[in-house]
Amino acid sequence: MASTVADVAKMIDHSLLRPELTNEDVRAGCDLAARYAVASVCVKPCDVALAATRLDGTGVSTGTVIGFPHGSSSARIKAAEARTAVSDGARELDMVLNIGRLRGGDDEAVLDDIRAVVEAAPGTVVKVIFENAYLSDAEKIRACRLSEQAGVAYVKTSTGFAPGGATLADIRLMRANVSERVKVKAAGGVRTLDVLLEMSAAGAARFGATATAAILDDLSGRLARTGVATVRGDLSTDRRMGPDR
- CA quadruple 139, 141, 146, 152: dihedral sign: positive
Map residue 234 onto helix, strand or coil: coil
**C-alpha 17: how far from chain center:** 12
Contact predicate 52/27, CB 8 Å:
no
The values of phi and psi at residue 136, to 5°, are -80, 165
78 part of the active site: no
Q: Which of 13, 185, 194, 218 is catalytic?
A: 185
CA dist., res. 129 & res. 118, Å (int) = 13
CA dist., res. 48 & res. 96, Å (int) = 18
Q: Which of 94, 113, 194, 218 is catalytic?
A: 94
Nearest CA among 152, 151, 163 for reference residue 129: 152
10 part of the active site: no
Q: Which of 78, 127, 140, 156 is catalytic?
A: 156
Rg, C-alpha atoms of the chain = 17
Catalytically active residues, by annotation? 94, 156, 185
